[in-house]
């Protein structure tokens, strides 16, 4: 039985300050670190002296063989973009490694984008559900849903890895919402080039112009670091009356307590 482990560390969207204390402590103890290219610069200090690998350069069986040899010497870390919870490419490795693997939670892009907007993504009376989806993973059969099928009044939609031209995406969303609603592009969140574009479905296409935030015209198919958020919650203000309502109906002890 090997004493070392393979840690899948939620590394956050790019800013090392968003690493949890637990992830940072574990990372310091790992000699071999697999990093998506995004992290080499911002995490340079934390990676100093470690042997680094880009996981996507290897085939699965070779990767498992390498990790197994590394585990004989020390623990291994994978920096997971954002967090393992949504759209992580590492699940097959975790399943294969079984008890040798441990997942450490982190700050997902959704959390970081919500902080940037200074908005909760559900809001009583405005938004009652949040849907996370990606047009990349919906498939392409005749009955495949479109992003418009998830869009509806009262829904905040988080769109990962968009691969649709913005005009087409906005058209689908406009049909689903049935009206103009706010849309935000959160680009390179947590990185020095961070940008937040907040507009509405009716104005976003003109606002963005020819800028390609989604690598649609890029020479490779890698998804861009842009999260799209859509829905009324992005610009609605919370009714202060809810504070007092909760105080009276939820937070106070029952009369008979």
Ligand X SMILES: C[S@@+](CC[C@H](N)C(=O)[O-])C[C@H]1O[C@@H](n2cnc3c(N)ncnc32)[C@H](O)[C@@H]1O
Q: Which of 150, 160, 177, 213 binds ligand X (CB under 6 A)?
A: 160
The reply to whether 158 sits near ligand X by the rule CB under 6 A is no
Phi/psi for 188 (5° steps) reads 50, 50
# binding residues, ligand X (CB under 6 A): 23
Choose the binding region for ligand X from 26-34, 68-76, 203-211, 222-230 (rule: CB under 6 A).
222-230
Q: Is-contact 78 66, C-beta < 8 A?
A: no
Calpha distance 198→186 (Å, rounded): 9
The reply to whether 213 sits near ligand X by the rule CB under 6 A is no
The reply to whether 226 sits near ligand X by the rule CB under 6 A is yes
Nearest-CB residue to ligand X?
Answer: 82
DSSP, collapsed to helix, strand or coil, labels residue 202 as coil
The reply to whether 225 sits near ligand X by the rule CB under 6 A is yes
Q: Which of 47, 169, 204, 227 binds ligand X (CB under 6 A)?
A: 227
Q: Is-contact 186 234, C-beta < 8 A?
A: no
241 contact partners, CB below 8 Å, separation of at least 6: none
Calpha distance 98→22 (Å, rounded): 21
Q: How far is the CB of 14 from ligand X (least distance, A)?
A: 5
Calpha distance 47→42 (Å, rounded): 10
The reply to whether 109 sits near ligand X by the rule CB under 6 A is yes
Give the binding site for ligand X (CB under 6 A): 13-14, 81-83, 86-88, 108-109, 160-161, 186-191, 223-227
């Amino acid at each position: 039985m090997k004493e070392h482990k393979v840690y899948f560390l939620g590394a956050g969207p790019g800013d090392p300050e968003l690493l949890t204390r637990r992830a940072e402590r574990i990372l310091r103890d790992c000699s071999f670190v697999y990093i998506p290219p995004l992290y080499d610069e911002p995490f340079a200090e934390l990676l100093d002296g470690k042997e680094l690998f880009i996981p996507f350069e290897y085939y699965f069986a070779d990767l498992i063989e390498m990790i197994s040899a590394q585990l004989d010497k020390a623990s291994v870390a994978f920096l997971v973009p954002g967090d393992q919870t949504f759209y992580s490419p590492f699940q097959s490795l975790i399943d294969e490694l079984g008890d040798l693997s441990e997942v450490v939670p982190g700050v997902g892009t959704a959390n970081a984008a919500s902080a940037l907007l200074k908005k909760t993504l559900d809001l009583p009376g405005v938004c009652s559900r949040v849907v996370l989806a990606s047009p990349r993973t919906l498939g392409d059969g005749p009955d495949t849903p479109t992003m418009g099928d998830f869009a509806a009044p009262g829904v905040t939609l988080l769109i990962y890895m968009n691969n649709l031209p913005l005009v087409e995406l906005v058209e689908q969303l406009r049909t689903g919402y049935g009206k103009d609603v706010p849309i935000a592009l959160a680009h390179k969140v947590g990185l020095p080039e961070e940008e937040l574009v907040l507009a509405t479905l009716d104005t976003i296409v003109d606002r963005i112009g020819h800028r390609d935030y989604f690598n649609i015209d890029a020479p490779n198919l890698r998804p861009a670091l842009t999260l799209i958020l859509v829905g009324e919650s992005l610009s609605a203000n919370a009714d202060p009356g809810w504070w007092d309502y909760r105080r009276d109906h939820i937070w106070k002890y029952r009369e008979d307590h």
